[in-house]
Amino acid sequence: MPNLRDIRKKIDAIKKIGQITRAMNMVASAKLRSIQGRLEGFRPYREKFEEVIFDLVGSGSINPQKVPLLQQREVRKVGIVLVTADRGLCGAFNSNLIKEAEKKIKTLEGEGKEVELICVGRKGFQYFAKRARVREAYTDVMGKVLMQDARKIARSAMRAFLSGEWDEAYIIYGYFINLIKQIPKVEKFLPLSLQKEEEGEEEKRAKVLSYIYEPEEEELLPQILPLYINTLVFAAMLETAVSEQAARMTAMDNANRACSDMVHDLTLLFNKTRQAAITKELMDIVGGAEAIKQG
């Protein structure tokens, strides 16, 4: 039979854990509202930027092989920018991103390609530090998500591509769908390729207005493409940061419910144990009284 004092200690400990999970849920909720507003404001900007880039590249007046960031070449070395959170306690969010990166690495290495990582976020770096070749790590940058950090990461990736250290580059991040669902997403971003149309995109592109560029496309493109890469990296960081807080809210809510269930079960056990102890004492008293009477 469990000891009443031990059960009471467990109940008190679980209640304290429940207080922590409720507090973390509230903090994640507050952070989510703040950064989700930034994401909702940035998504249309990225989409419009992509629309302009697509119109510029798809105009037919530019030879992609003459633009360094558009050059297609034989792929021998591949870079992956992995964006994870700096902190845990957000369910399987970081694990899913790491698994997606491992899957991509395994596929590329199976094709005989060398893979190098740029880790954005502490969790991804901690996992791959001794498991893969890490070129650079940017930790403690996912709390605020600043454009200046995105520029540093984008410049590092572009430098590796332009120098020939990478022939191709992918970015892996957490894409925010809603509070319940966040999915790992893999996008190829170097060399830039905006020719592939998704389902329904052709009609959408047909409605795009024709732009007049000043200066001409060949002069403008080398200046605007690095800005677009910055935008892609910053968008990936924002998406991951929002997904992290949403996943943490869900994880802490589940943990809080689990604490409540455990307290309920332990309270029942405590009451049953106490009742059994009282019953035993009463039986001892009654047995002793009967023994006295018979004596």
Q: What is the largest CA-CA distance in the chain?
A: 117
Among residues 78, 90, 154, 221, which one is catalytic?
90
The Cα–Cα gap between 295 and 289 comes to 10
Task: Tabulate helix, strand, coil % of the chain (nearest 5).
Answer: 65, 15, 25
| Burial call 63-98: b when 16+ CB within 10 Å, e when fewer | eeeebebbeeeeeebbbbbbbbbbebbbbebbebbb
Q: Check if 119 is active-site.
A: no
Q: Count CB-CB contacts under 10 A for residue 291.
A: 9
3-class DSSP string for 64-109: HHHCHHHCCCCCCEEEEEEECCCCCCCCCHHHHHHHHHHHHHHHHH
DSSP 105-166: HHHHHHTT-EEEEEEESHHHHHHHTTTS-EEEEE-S-TTT--HHHHHHHHHHHHHHHHTTS-
Of 147, 1, 143, 164, which Cα lies nearest the Cα of 71? Answer: 164
Which pair of tokens denotes residue 150?
A: 């995105």
The catalytic site residues sit at 90
